[in-house]
């Protein structure tokens, strides 16, 4: 590529949003820009946002898909509140996003798409590129489509095929603006289109043409540079939550020396875990796409019974279907991992959007006293660690573990320092051995776990089931005192699960207000806390990753801080648990819009609590 | 098969059997306990998984591994076990409500996949455990607690259903006919893949005499169309002949025996077995029993493990460090 010849402006952080029709390839464009940014050593965080329909009617507001990326020369916690740059591939993308774009920001549009037909489709009476409504933005109206098509005129492609490469033109232009390296994207395209040489050529030409356009046109006066962020030494990769979760399961199964069996039924936004795990057969991973969620969890439980690591992955509606089988697993006291990547509910709700409203379902969504462990991942890369934790808890305590993730961290990504395999915990398990007078419900006095007694082991043949069992022998038993004892014992087992203490970040040690979150609100809260502290406020932060059971030191922490604010993307589910268990009044900040919190709104919420005495 | 000298007693658990006196489940249990030693499989390698219903208490009475699971889900749970542990012999015990109503979806999918499961469907044409409501196998017009004016639903023919679900082995037998039941179990055990065995089972409490037509000495000889591979299909009075693409019943006095259909359980075309299954209606006047279909199809578990082995043979066993470091990575010094 040609040398940079225009003035270069140094900036500390940038938020870019790529927006277009769902057929425009915005997710791919965003992904590539992210990869190239990650490799430059900027810290980053991403937020894809796409419609539930695979192809909503073209050019409509419903069909707009976007990808937001925040990258900086310092630690980044969220995908950013407000974009500095909006790339809008058509009028619908402009209209759907303009309300989020602060005045003064840069807007790059494909002006070829601003035809009167397309404008009318989304209800623009006049052309916003010409009517002055965008005067307070730095507007670049670029003939993206026609320049792409003319650059590809030598190739044997139809106009429609040629137009499809316009996202690569946009990527090339943005790559020029922010000095992203081009080698990785070129290599990526070569691998992706290795069997379609014309399409490969088209993408490469469009990408390079976009880059050169930035370099040569008068329209863009500067390019920008963002220094790399300070990060701990190590090898990094950019990782999304679903991938991290799948890797965590594979690694944990390896540490446990157990074959991984996934029973799953496709559902957004959890399907990617099924897709990812189905690639890893060489690790002995069996993936079973069941006929429904009930069979998915059932097959996982059957596999666990046989001594495999049984896992099922789903989202809220699927968790509802799995309830009865999870109850059976509670009764059978077998290891089982249930991953719930939460989305907007109730019912089908907002399938592609994020929410945290399945917490109480995870805690209580079964008949009877049916305790399971419930844990939650807080960032994309944390999904790896929490998957390992889920396996540790399930196998140590012979209990179902519900691991909560959500659409935000499942689809979002961040740089991840690849852990050293040597640091992974030993998760090896012991099965019951041949013995006389085997008692299937005799417990380990410390963990209260019963033996994992798998078929094929001579001399310990026994029958188990969902009917209440006698203590120790496991024989069917309907006696009142035994049932009461067994109910309490199953609860005590979950209550006694060892989980790490919660860590409070309170630099001055005398903050009066604690920001306490769980799950994917970690990033937005951390970012708000940073802003508040930069403004001279005293505020503490702590994040709950273990919900059943809560960490032991949580009671003391709640007691220490007079005021606790808990932001949740639900109507106050964690707050309800905390209030009932600790009799602590919690100030809730609750929004259920299908979107993560912005830093600004959390800062404002905290200011209200900090200064309203 | 190995010659482990196990006996019926070895397969009998210490649990007191708790079905109603005269329940057909007793004879099925006894036949099973007597049959199991014949398999030559160690007790610890046999697993019985059941759903919920009177019949689903079955695993408690066998001294093997067993799981009494939840209503309708046994085929799903057993699939996970059988797929991940091909070394085990897995039986599923289910009732007509368990298998055909709440668990219908799991049943058809287990059969379609050909998971290595031997599924015994105890058909008493009633919900026994919940005290006598009609089931998806009850004849239309049935008066039960929940249908005092008669049931309106058209029943399933479990054999037709299984055949429609691509089952590779489908048979029908009767609780009280120990010899026939044992022979069907033997053939099912020898079959690779899933097997569905419908067992007519009398519930003396809520649906007594449902199968008298095929059990009573006066009527059974004329009602039971015996299906034996390589033999003409007939009862004492009636035979089966071909008519165009389908099958038809004839009075044995009107045709020569050579005109009768000679049973071919291995016919690859399932429409033959399906036609056989349609010869009987709810009335049981002409009821084929024996093995309808027994064809060779790769079993699901075997294919799963072949795929795993093939990938490992090609790419070598997985390396976690390599996996985590795959794709675009960068180094911070
Ligand atoms: C989820 C659920 N729904 C309903 C029941 C109640 N129930 C138990 S057994 C049964 C029907 C059993 O009928 P069938 O499968 O024919 O077995 P049988 O008792 O006749 O052997 C029902 C409805 C249950 N246990 N679980
Ligand atoms: S109710 Fe019927 S099926 Fe159930 S045990 Fe009694 S006789 Fe047998
Ligand atoms: Mg029944």
Tens of pLDDT along chain B (333 residues) come to 445 589 999 999 999 999 999 999 999 999 999 999 999 999 999 999 999 999 999 999 999 999 999 999 999 999 999 999 999 999 999 999 999 999 999 999 999 999 999 999 999 999 999 999 999 999 999 999 999 999 999 999 999 999 999 999 999 999 999 999 999 999 999 999 999 999 999 999 999 999 999 999 999 999 999 999 999 999 999 999 999 989 999 999 999 999 999 999 999 999 999 999 999 888 899 999 999 999 999 999 999 999 999 999 999 999 999 999 998 899 998
Distance, in Å, from the CA atom of A8 to the CA atom of A459, rounded to the nearest integer, reads 76
Q: What is the pTM of this model?
A: 0.94
- Strand B329-332, strand B65-68: pairing: unpaired
Q: Tell me whether residues A282 and B318 touch, CB distance under 8 A.
A: yes
Residue nearest to atom 1 of ligand 2 (CA): B128
Distance, in Å, from the CA atom of B258 to the CA atom of B252, rounded to the nearest integer, reads 11
Comparing CB atoms, the residue among B13, B77, B325 nearest residue A301 is B77
Q: Tell me whether residues B76 and A261 touch, CB distance under 8 A.
A: no
Closest CA to A328 of A180, A464, A505: A464
Give the closest ligand to the alpha carbon of residue B102.
1
**Helical pair B74-84 and A293-305, crossing angle rounded to 10 deg:** 50
Q: Reduce the DSSP state of residue A568 to 3 states and report it.
A: strand
Distance, in Å, from the CA atom of A506 to the CA atom of A511, rounded to the nearest integer, reads 7
Fold of A504-610: Rossmann fold (3.40.50)
What is the per-residue pLDDT for A3? 52
Q: What's the half-sphere exposure (Cβ side, CA atoms, 13 Å) at A612?
A: 9
CA A329 to chain B, closest CA, distance in angstroms equals: 10
Distance, in Å, from the CA atom of A376 to the CA atom of A384, rounded to the nearest integer, reads 11
Distance, in Å, from the CA atom of A1 to the CA atom of A202, rounded to the nearest integer, reads 17
Closest CA to B196 of B171, B229, B227, B161: B171
Is the pLDDT at A2 greater than 80? The verdict is no
DSSP B109-129: HHHHHT-S-EEEEEE-SSBTT
Interface probe with B: pick from A187, A384, A461, most Cβ of B within 10 Å:
A461
Q: Tell me whether residues A419 and B311 touch, CB distance under 8 A.
A: no
Q: Judge whether B221 and B196 are in contact, CB under 8 Å.
A: no
Pick the CATH number of A8-225 from 3.40.920.10, 3.20.20.210, 3.40.50.1460, 3.40.250.10: 3.40.920.10
Task: Give residue ranges with CB within 6 A of ligand 1.
Answer: B 52-55, 71, 95-98, 122, 124, 126-130, 135
Q: Going by C-beta distance under 8 Å and a sequence separation of 6 or more, which residues neighbour residue B222?
A: B235, B236, B237, B238
Q: Does A184 touch chain B (CB under 8 A)?
A: yes
Q: Which residue of chain B has the CA closest to A457?
A: B44
> Which atom of ligand 2 is found nearest the CA of B124?
3
What is the per-residue pLDDT for A1? 44
Q: Which residue of chain B has the CA closest to A188?
A: B328
- Strand B89-95, strand B46-50: pairing: parallel
Closest CA to A392 of A432, A425, A359, A366: A425
Q: Do domains A237-417 and A504-610 have the same CATH topology?
A: yes
Distance, in Å, from the CA atom of A548 to the CA atom of A495, rounded to the nearest integer, reads 7
Q: Judge whether B151 and B126 are in contact, CB under 8 Å.
A: no
Q: Does B107 touch chain A (CB under 8 A)?
A: no
What is the per-residue pLDDT for B232? 98
Distances (CA, A) of A488 to A326, A484, A496, A577: 18, 6, 12, 19
Residue of B71, B106, B119, B146 best suited for mutating to test ligand 1, as the one with most atoms within 8 Å of CB: B71
Distance, in Å, from the CA atom of A225 to the CA atom of A179, rounded to the nearest integer, reads 6
Q: Tell me whether residues A237 and B13 touch, CB distance under 8 A.
A: no
Length of chain A: 613
Q: How confident is the model at residue A4 (pLDDT cuts 50, 70, 90)?
A: low
- List CB contacts (< 8 A) between A459 and chain B: 44
Q: Does B2 touch chain A (CB under 8 A)?
A: no
Residue nearest to atom 1 of ligand 1 (CA): B71
Neighbours of ion ligand 3 (CB under 5 A): B 95-96, 124, 128
Q: What is the pLDDT of residues A500-509, one digit of tens each?
A: 999 999 999 9
What is the per-residue pLDDT for B4? 59
Q: In chain A, what are the domain boundaries?
A: 8-225, 237-417, 504-610
Q: Which residue of chain A has the CA closest to B13?
A: A462
Q: What is the pLDDT of residues A82-122, one digit of tens each?
A: 999 999 999 999 999 999 999 999 999 999 999 999 999 99
CATH, range A237-417: 3.40.50.970
Distance, in Å, from the CA atom of A57 to the CA atom of A122, rounded to the nearest integer, reads 11
Q: Which residue of chain B has the CA closest to A283?
A: B318
Token output for A25: 């390839």
Comparing CB atoms, the residue among B63, B82, B308 nearest residue A281 is B308
Walk me through the domains of chain B, giving residue ranges and CATH numbers: 8-210+298-307 (3.40.50.970)
Q: How confident is the model at residue A372 (pLDDT cuts 50, 70, 90)?
A: very high
> In chain A, what percentage of residues exceed pLDDT 70?
99
ipTM above threshold 0.90: yes
Q: Does A282 touch chain B (CB under 8 A)?
A: yes
């Amino acid at each position: 590529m040609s040398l940079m010849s225009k003035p270069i402006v140094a900036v500390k952080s940038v938020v870019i949003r790529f927006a277009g029709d769902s057929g425009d390839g915005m997710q791919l464009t965003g992904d590539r820009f992210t990869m190239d940014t990650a490799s430059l050593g900027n810290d980053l965080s991403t937020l894809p946002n796409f419609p539930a329909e695979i192809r909503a009617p073209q050019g409509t507001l419903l069909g707009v898909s976007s990808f937001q990326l925040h990258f900086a020369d310092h630690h980044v916690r969220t995908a950013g509140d407000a974009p500095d740059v909006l790339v809008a591939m058509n009028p619908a993308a402009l209209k759907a996003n303009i309300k989020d774009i602060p005045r003064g920001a840069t807007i790059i549009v494909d002006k070829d798409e601003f035809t009167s037909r397309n404008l009318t489709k989304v209800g623009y009476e006049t052309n916003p590129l010409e009517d002055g409504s965008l005067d307070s933005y730095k507007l670049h109206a670029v003939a993206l489509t026609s320049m792409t098509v003319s650059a590809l005129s030598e190739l044997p492609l139809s106009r429609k095929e040629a137009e499809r490469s316009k996202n690569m033109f946009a990527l090339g232009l943005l790559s020029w603006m922010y000095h992203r390296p081009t080698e990785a994207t070129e290599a990526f395209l070569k691998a992706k289109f290795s069997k379609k040489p014309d399409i490969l050529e088209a993408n490469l030409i469009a990408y390079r043409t976009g880059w050169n356009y930035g370099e040569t046109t008068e329209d863009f006066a500067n390019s920008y540079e963002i220094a790399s962020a300070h990060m701990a030494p190590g090898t990094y990769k950019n990782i999304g939550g679903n991938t991290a979760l799948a890797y965590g399961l594979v690694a944990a199964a390896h540490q446990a020396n157990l074959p991984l069996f996934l029973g799953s039924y496709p559902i957004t936004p959890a399907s990617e875990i099924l897709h990812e795990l189905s690639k890893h057969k060489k690790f002995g991973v069996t993936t079973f796409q069941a006929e429904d969620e009930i069979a998915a969890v059932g097959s996982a439980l059957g596999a666990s019974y046989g001594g495999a690591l049984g896992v099922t992955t789903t989202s809220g509606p699927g968790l509802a279907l799995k309830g009865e089988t999870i109850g059976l697993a509670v009764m059978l006291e077998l290891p089982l991992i249930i991953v719930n990547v939460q989305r907007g509910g109730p019912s089908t709700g907002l399938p592609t959007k994020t929410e945290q409203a399945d917490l109480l379902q995870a805690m209580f969504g079964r008949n009877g006293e049916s305790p399971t462990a419930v844990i939650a991942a807080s960032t994309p890369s944390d999904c790896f660690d929490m998957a390992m934790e889920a396996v540790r808890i399930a196998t140590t305590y012979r209990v179902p573990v519900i691991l909560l993730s959500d659409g935000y961290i499942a689809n979002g990504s961040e740089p991840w320092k690849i852990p050293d395999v040597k640091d992974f915990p030993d998760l090896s398990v012991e099965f019951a051995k041949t013995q006389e007078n085997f008692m299937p419900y005799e417990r380990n006095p410390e963990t209260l776990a019963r033996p994992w007694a798998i078929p094929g082991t001579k001399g310990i043949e026994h029958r188990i089931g969902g009917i209440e069992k006698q203590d120790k022998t496991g024989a069917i038993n309907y006696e009142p005192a035994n049932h009461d004892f067994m109910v309490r014992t199953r609860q005590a087992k979950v209550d006694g699960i060892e989980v790490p203490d919660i860590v409070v970040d309170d630099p001055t040690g005398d903050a009066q207000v604690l920001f306490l979150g769980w799950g994917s609100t970690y990033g937005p809260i951390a970012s708000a806390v940073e802003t508040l502290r930069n403004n001279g406020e005293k505020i503490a932060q702590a994040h709950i990753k273990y919900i059943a059971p809560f960490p032991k030191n949580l009671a003391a922490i709640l007691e220490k801080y007079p005021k606790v604010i808990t932001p949740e993307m639900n109507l106050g589910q964690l707050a309800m648990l905390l209030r009932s268990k600790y009799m602590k009044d919690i100030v809730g900040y609750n929004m259920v819009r299908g979107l993560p919190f912005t830093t600004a709104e959390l800062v404002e919420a905290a200011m209200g609590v900090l200064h309203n005495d | 098969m190995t010659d482990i000298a196990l006996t019926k007693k070895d397969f009998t658990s210490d649990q007191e059997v708790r079905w109603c006196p005269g329940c057909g489940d007793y004879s099925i249990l006894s036949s099973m306990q007597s049959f199991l030693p014949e398999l030559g499989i160690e007790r610890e390698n046999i697993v019985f998984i059941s759903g919920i219903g009177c019949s689903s208490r079955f695993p408690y009475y066998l001294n093997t591994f067993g799981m009494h699971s939840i209503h309708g889900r046994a085929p799903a749970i057993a699939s996970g076990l059988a797929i991940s542990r091909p070394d085990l012999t897995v039986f599923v015990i289910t009732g007509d409500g368990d298998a055909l109503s709440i668990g219908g979806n799991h049943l058809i999918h287990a059969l379609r996949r050909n998971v290595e499961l031997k599924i015994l469907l105890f058909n008493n044409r009633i919900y026994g455990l919940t005290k006598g409501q009609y089931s998806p196998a009850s004849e239309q017009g049935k008066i039960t607690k929940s249908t005092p004016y008669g049931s309106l639903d058209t029943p399933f023919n479990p054999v037709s259903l299984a055949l429609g679900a691509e089952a590779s082995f489908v048979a029908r037998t009767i609780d009280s006919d120990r010899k026939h039941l044992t022979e069907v179990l033997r053939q099912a055990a020898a079959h690779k893949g899933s097997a569905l065995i419908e067992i007519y089972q009398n519930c003396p409490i809520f649906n007594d005499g449902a199968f008298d037509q095929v059990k009573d000495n006066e009527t059974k000889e004329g009602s039971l169309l015996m299906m034996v591979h390589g033999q003409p299909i007939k009862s004492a009075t009636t035979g089966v002949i071909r008519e165009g693409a389908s099958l038809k019943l004839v009075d044995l006095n009107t045709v020569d025996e050579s005109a009768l259909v000679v049973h071919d359980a291995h016919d690859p075309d399932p429409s033959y077995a399906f036609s056989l299954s349609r010869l009987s209606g709810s009335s049981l006047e002409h009821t084929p029993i024996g093995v309808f279909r027994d064809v060779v199809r790769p079993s699901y578990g075997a294919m799963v493990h072949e795929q795993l082995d093939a990938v490992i043979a090609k790419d070598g066993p997985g390396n976690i460090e390599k996996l985590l470091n795959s794709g675009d990575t960068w180094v911070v010094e």
